[in-house]
Structure 1
Amino acid sequence: MLDYRLNIYNNATSPIHRLQTNHFLNIYLLLEGTMTLLRNMNFQQLTSGYLFYVYDSDAISVLSFEGTLLCLSINNYYVYNTSMNQSTIKKLLNTVDAAYLKSNFIDIIFSIINDSNIQTAKQLNMLNHIKVLYEMDPASTDDNTLTLIKNVTAYINDNNQYQLTCQHIANTFFVQPSYLSREFSIMMHCTLSNYIIASKIYFSICDLLEGLLLETIWKKYQFQSYEGYVYHFQTITGNIPNKKIFKLFKYENINALTLRQQQILKQIQVKL
């Protein structure tokens, strides 16, 4: 089972102000209405049925939104730990398109609505398609600072099993630590040090789901002690990583849908 979140936004009852969620890849489907975005200094006008995805380091803003938006958030762990060989990439390049991705997304949503087991293989396949599309996307920004922050977040998620500091990362990307710290905080809405710690915690949730022992996990991500790991885990997630929480993660999902959300999802099945 993957670590995911499912949310529904409506401009009248639950408006959305920020499309990015730190440590998650967000996949959105505009169920009804219209939406105007500013992505990498380009305007996008979306209409009902449009599927799009947002990485946590993307430069994207909501300019207007009227309607209902469905969001599936998937832990960055799977984004950065899903490797592809060249033959897989070549195959995906021949099959990747918006219609296929949307069909895959809808199948996964139906699994959630019907309370059936999430199809892990289908989710990972969808992630691979998104990664290929992301690499092919010609709309990448020319802004050096935005490119830097995007590369830094990728570096952190690829290397969060090690001790990372602002100084080390700044040296890696040949920038001043003060500049990196300031610009990272502005774009990511959190400090660089907090992002590093939270990256370790969110990755460790997926390790819990896969059955790794707590003693192994806190050492894997190089926390100074088990107590330190528990402290940060509780601060970030609001829970203590004990056996009860492990069961909650594994079988019920930490952010289970509310009754109202379930009712809304059942009402919009016909729209999917």
Structure 2
Amino acid sequence: MAKKHEHGFGIDIGGSGIKGAPVDLRKGRLSDDRVRIPTPQPATPEAVAGVVKEVLDSFGWDGPFGCTFPAVVQHGVTRTAANVDPSWIDCDAATVLREVTGRDAVLVNDADAAGAAENEFGAAADESGVVLMATLGTGIGTALIAHGLLVPNTEFGHVELDGYDAETRAADSARERDDLDWEQWGERLTRYFSHVENLLWPDLIVVGGGVSKKFEKWSPYVHTRTTMIPAALLNEAGIIGAALLAHS
């Protein structure tokens, strides 16, 4: 992904917090400490956009910015609203963000942003083939990058597996809910990743989400034919990826 600018700005909208910071697009890292403000409740588009403006104003950032959101995003319109306020469904969110913040916004799926960042600057930077990123948390978010190009809005966390929505069985939240040990969870992840491997045949799988910090504890119990590695950018991936996609 060619970088046309040296500096950008990324916002990462989550269920509990909205984080943002300027990003050095040459090095793929934050160029200042990030600011985090709690997500308003109810988290309507207008309320969230108001907090995004606060984050931008705190840095005096006046230019365009990238912004993640946990939903399918088509041309700035949020089509889904899993785990967020239903008022986001079919909302022209990019327009709302522009009108409230006074800056042009590029809105992207949160897993796509993380995947783009890992592909450009992180764990997948040396892989030129097909990369699947999966974020394991409350759900399973996925990003698919084929030969350097992002295929947006893949929802492979929601494939049907053994009669279930896959993320309800294999996400980190399912591990906690069902009180699984690492080996038991690893068996479910093996089943999930094997299924996705047969659909996509990736060259590399990158695993993100908070549980990626404990990769060495559970990964020995996950058996895939594809090399699987932990994400490198951790909590900064969304911010970096949003800024990257906004300026690519």
TM-score surpassing 0.5?
no
User: Which protein shows a greater Rg?
Assistant: 1
Q: TM class, shorter-chain normalised?
A: under 0.3
For normalisation by structure 1, the TM-score amounts to 0.23
The structure richer in strand per residue is: 2
TM-score, scaled relative to structure 2: 0.25
| Higher RCO (CA 8 Å, separation ≥ 6 residues) | 2
